[in-house]
Amino acid sequence: MSFAVRIDGQEGHEPPRPGQCLRTYLRERGCTGVKKGCDTGDCGACTVHVDGLAVHSCLYPAHRADGRTVTTAGGLAGDGGRPHPVQEAFARARAYQCGYCTPGFVMTAAALSPEQLADLSQSLKGNLCRCTGYRPIGEAVRAAHTRHGDSPAPPPVPADPAAPSVVTGAARFCLDHPEPAGLLHVALVHSPHRHARVLDIDTAAARAVPGVRAVLTHRDAPRTRFSTALHENTDDDPADTRVLDDVVRHAGQRVAAVVADSPATAARASRLVRVTYRVLPAVTDPEQALRPDAVRVHELGNVAGEFHGTVGDTGRGLAEADIVHEDTFRTQRVQHTAMECHASRAWAEPDGRLHLRCATQAPHLVRRRLCEVFGLDPGRLRATAGRLGGSFGRGQDVQTEDIALLAALRTGSAVQLENTRTEELTATTTRHPFHVRVTLGARRDGTLTAIKLRIVCDTGAYGNHGPSVLQVACTEAFAHYRCPNVTVDGYCVRTHNVPAGAFRGYGAGQLTFAVESALDELAHRLRLDPLTIRERAYLRPGEQAAFPGTAGRHPVMDTGLGRCLETLGRARARRLRTRPEHSGPRRLIGEGLAVATLYTVPADGHIAQAAVTLRADGHYELTTAVPEFGSGTATVLRRIAAQALRTAPDRVHLTGADTELLDHHSGGFGSTGIVLTGQAVAQACRALARQRDDPTPASGRPTAGSGRTSADTACRGEPPLPPLPSAHTGGHPAGTRLRAVATVSADDAVPCLAFSAQWFRVEVAPDTGLVRILDSVHVADAGTVMDAAQCRGQIEGAVVQGVGTALREELPTDAEGRITTTGLRTYLVPHFGEVPPTEVHLLRPRDQDEPAMPKPMSELPFNSVAAALANAVRDAAGVRFTTLPLRPDAVWAALGTGDT
Ligand code: FES
């Protein structure tokens, strides 16, 4: 039977496999602009044109493309290779961060009719973006179509060298690299029980399926216990996890891995694996798991970490208070929902070494951890990461890497494991749910006399990241308030729930929701303006933040928070003078605000290394091992390098994240990607500039050197220097190759405090419980902003993710502890039409004593959103919500009963 399809201008005749969808057919033909984000037509990452019509190619049977013309983002460019106007507009407006959703958005936008253009809320509903907050996407789409009418284009934002590849779909994410020969695929078997012992696994039927190469169980896996969490300091996380275990501790835990010629064969065979379990008693409530008689989740015990700290005398502080407010707050289990699912690929290189390509934020730590688990010499394993399709912390755990490596070692073949969206939602790490008991004491004027916190965080079945998340939560959320008496007692508890892990905010968001909500309630009871109580309470410049239980690490406040509150107050007053555009006569209108602080201290022992090489062509090659995952690290590091080298950013080229290229780097997460790695980059580049500018000819001394420069802070406060003339190489003849390396560690880091403040005006519909955002202002103290477009995008994206967490995202479980949300259709990531623009203010560094350096904005803007929204709902409806999310059914019920 003949088959013909025209793909991006090329005629093809190879028929698809039976049942194959168009997305897979196109990706197998190298169309990297066709992304996989789900299999259900919910995310739009796979959007292509079929005869000019935009379709979700994951739902489109490939055989129906017979006789048709298919265009992907890679083939959208016009004659002469000039990008399509929509692609140009996306690049000019920086309408992307990680860029994983971008080709799909481009294809949808390029096919819009004038009628569809007039209603982008509906027209772009089928494409999800987890990073940008949608504002720049809308601007790009409108600009692209306006330009057809000869209206002037908006001014471009500073160029990102990755833009052309992102908007055309050529940027390479984890699985976009050419497949190694003979690639096999893994499908996982997951436990349906939350606690059980595996008595037997019958793999015969699965192994009998043609194309199946192996079925791996705990008998094939190393017995070594490890933590999936990736930290430089291995003491941070308990070693309590096995690659495949004979005890399951949560529903969804991996029990077996089927390796086969194709994903479909592996999936079909995985359903034939028969596992016999002895079901055991389970505990899923963290408060119950704390009891001495509770079912033990793990031999190591149920408490994975504790934190206790005291400043002053809280009992006395409460006795001296004119008013005491106490409440308990609960946050829910949510998922990162990056548009790219976790994936890894392992294969042998021609020299016999193993290559592991994975969606990680820390390639060196993945290599180290897996070499320990599998007993490999580090020299035998190379780990690389491409661009990550969003992270939000998900890349700081071993998620699929261990199984891919196990399968490659056991089969001797190249192997790939790519999670399905259902696996992402039901069996990978989540945010830690928290219970927080807050007790605040205050005088009538709002002066805080006591803060008392009891925190229980549910780390799920394993302790990865749990103790560190608890520590961040126990210190940062209130560090900016003056209070002489503080007591914090925190417990990180194992339960038979799906494990939590690193997630944007790292515990601070949960605590900020609790503390900022309680403070707001205190303000209501004292009849104080919520801004006033915060203005009176925040620490002034020069005062030391009180971090109970963290001796010697008490940062000194600067002017950031005060200026955030000033700016927020002005914007709020201006906004409140306007009438809100509410959607109906019976709507309840209210406003609320909250603040958040981030202490930019890296994890203990964190190491950041950077190398820079002056190439023969006068350009520079910068190596950092920090993959780009949408936080803008790549552009900021290039600019730091360019400044130190006194050259233009487009002369600095960033290499990929690859363990071959640097001795060691602990990865890019938390505040380390920009702050610590930025210091290493600045030092390496300054060292290279000194070599370059040395008038001594290169002959007679090494032309390629490696210097371990000591950490210093000279880069802080330096004004930008003028760029050198092009191809400036000092006294060195053309062709000389100079290299400098710098390493800084957490001990060398200059920590600082970053601040943000968020304000919302909302309407609440009493008849439906729906909360709608009418107005939104975000103020951020981001230090020296190296890339305003990227920074603003980070903040807007964080606010939208915070809105999703506050209003509706959650992962409910059934009676057996199984997560019942299995797809994006029911997980409800905010989409284009639901998110109003946020007015973003970036404070300029003002005082000379403030560090002239960028402060990270990946996490901080998320942290205050849920509290600010809950405070606005309290103002509107008179009901204090203490449990997230504020779903319409919960709000509706509470408005009727007053029960939150
Ligand atoms: Fe849209 Fe990352 S830029 S998902």
- For residue 237, the SS3 value is coil
How far apart are the CA of 436 and the centre of ligand 1, in A? 32
Q: Where are the alpha helices (DSSP H) in 244-342?
A: 263-270, 286-289, 314-319
| Tokens 């707050």 sit on residue | 329
How far apart are the CA of 129 and the centre of ligand 1, in A? 5
Higher-confidence residue: 430 or 477? 430
Ligand 1, closest atom to CA 630?
2
Higher-confidence residue: 522 or 550? 522
* Most informative mutation of 35, 36, 46, 101 for ligand 1 (most atoms within 8 A of CB): 101
Residue 93 vs residues 90, 624, 670: alpha-carbon distances, Å: 5, 27, 26
Quick one: pLDDT at residue 753?
Answer: 85
pTM confidence score: 0.92
How far apart are the CA of 98 and the centre of ligand 1, in A? 5
Quick one: pLDDT at residue 208?
Answer: 98
How far apart are the CA of 66 and the centre of ligand 1, in A? 31
| Tokens 């259900």 sit on residue | 40
Quick one: pLDDT at residue 387?
Answer: 93
DSSP 3-state helix, strand, coil percentages of the chain (rounded to 5)?
Answer: 30, 25, 45
Question: Which residue type sits at 21?
Answer: C
Instruction: Write out pLDDT tens, residues 245-264.
Output: 999 999 999 999 999 999 99
With 0-12 / 13-18 / 19 or more C-beta atoms within 10 angstroms meaning exposed / middle / buried, residue 648 is: middle
Over residues 880-884, the mean pLDDT reads 98
How far apart are the CA of 598 and the centre of ligand 1, in A? 24
Q: Write the DSSP string, 431-485.
A: PPPEEEEEEEEE-TT--EEEEEEEEEEEEETS-TTHHHHHHHHHHHTTTTB--S-
Percent of the chain with pLDDT strictly greater than 90: 76
- Confidence band for 552, pLDDT divided at 50, 70 and 90: low
- Confidence band for 70, pLDDT divided at 50, 70 and 90: very high
**What would you measure as the largest C-alpha separation in the chain, in angstroms?**
87
Higher-confidence residue: 504 or 634? 504
Higher-confidence residue: 230 or 675? 230
Ligand 1, closest atom to CA 105?
1
Q: Specify whether the CB–CB gap between 426 and 819 falls below 8 A.
A: yes
- Confidence band for 694, pLDDT divided at 50, 70 and 90: confident
C-alpha–C-alpha distance, residues 31 and 35, integer Å = 9
How far apart are the CA of 588 and the centre of ligand 1, in A? 34
- Confidence band for 541, pLDDT divided at 50, 70 and 90: confident
Lowest mean pLDDT among 174-178, 399-403, 749-753, 858-862: 749-753
Instruction: Write out pLDDT tens, residues 317-364.
Output: 999 999 999 999 999 999 999 999 999 999 999 999 999 999 999 999
Quick one: pLDDT at residue 728?
Answer: 36
Is the per-residue pLDDT at 720 higher than 90?
Answer: no
How far apart are the CA of 629 and the centre of ligand 1, in A? 9
* Most informative mutation of 36, 47, 131, 392 for ligand 1 (most atoms within 8 A of CB): 131
Q: Which residues contact 674 (CB under 8 A, 6 or more apart)?
A: 631, 633, 636, 637, 854, 855, 856
Ligand 1, closest atom to CA 97?
3
Per DSSP, the chain holds a count of helices (H) and strands (E) of 25, 30
Instruction: Write out pLDDT tens, residues 728-754.
Output: 334 444 445 799 999 998 887 777 788
Quick one: pLDDT at residue 586?
Answer: 82
C-alpha–C-alpha distance, residues 602 and 675, integer Å = 9
Over residues 266-294, the mean pLDDT reads 97
Over residues 284-297, the mean pLDDT reads 97
How far apart are the CA of 800 and the centre of ligand 1, in A? 12
Is the per-residue pLDDT at 811 higher than 60?
Answer: yes
* Most informative mutation of 46, 90, 97, 633 for ligand 1 (most atoms within 8 A of CB): 97
Residue 753 vs residues 180, 559, 737: alpha-carbon distances, Å: 46, 10, 39
Instruction: Write out pLDDT tens, residues 526-537.
Output: 999 999 999 999
How far apart are the CA of 633 and the centre of ligand 1, in A? 15
* Most informative mutation of 36, 130, 387 for ligand 1 (most atoms within 8 A of CB): 130
Hey, whose CA ends up nearest to atom 1 of ligand 1? 129
Higher-confidence residue: 373 or 724? 373
Instruction: Write out pLDDT tens, residues 602-624.
Output: 778 889 999 999 998 999 999 99
Hey, whose CA ends up nearest to atom 4 of ligand 1? 129
Higher-confidence residue: 737 or 467? 467
Lowest mean pLDDT among 73-87, 111-125, 213-227, 752-766: 73-87
Ligand 1, closest atom to CA 338?
4
- For residue 644, the SS3 value is helix
C-alpha–C-alpha distance, residues 270 and 336, integer Å = 26
- Confidence band for 671, pLDDT divided at 50, 70 and 90: low
Quick one: pLDDT at residue 558?
Answer: 80
Is the per-residue pLDDT at 178 higher than 60?
Answer: yes
Quick one: pLDDT at residue 897?
Answer: 63
The DSSP bridge partners found for residue 740 are 612
How far apart are the CA of 139 and the centre of ligand 1, in A? 15
* Most informative mutation of 105, 127, 132 for ligand 1 (most atoms within 8 A of CB): 132
Quick one: pLDDT at residue 593?
Answer: 98
With 0-12 / 13-18 / 19 or more C-beta atoms within 10 angstroms meaning exposed / middle / buried, residue 508 is: buried
Q: Which residues line ligand 1 (CB under 6 A)?
A: 96-102, 129-132, 339, 390, 630
With 0-12 / 13-18 / 19 or more C-beta atoms within 10 angstroms meaning exposed / middle / buried, residue 329 is: buried
C-alpha–C-alpha distance, residues 463 and 429, integer Å = 11
Q: Cis check for the bond before 885: say yes or no (omega within 30 of 0).
A: yes
Q: Specify whether the CB–CB gap between 580 and 550 falls below 8 A.
A: no
Give the mean pLDDT of the chain. Answer: 90
Q: Which residues contact 219 (CB under 8 A, 6 or more apart)?
A: none
Q: Write the DSSP string, 79-131.
A: GGGPPPHHHHHHHHTT--SS-SSHHHHHHHHHT--HHHHTTHHHHTTT---SS
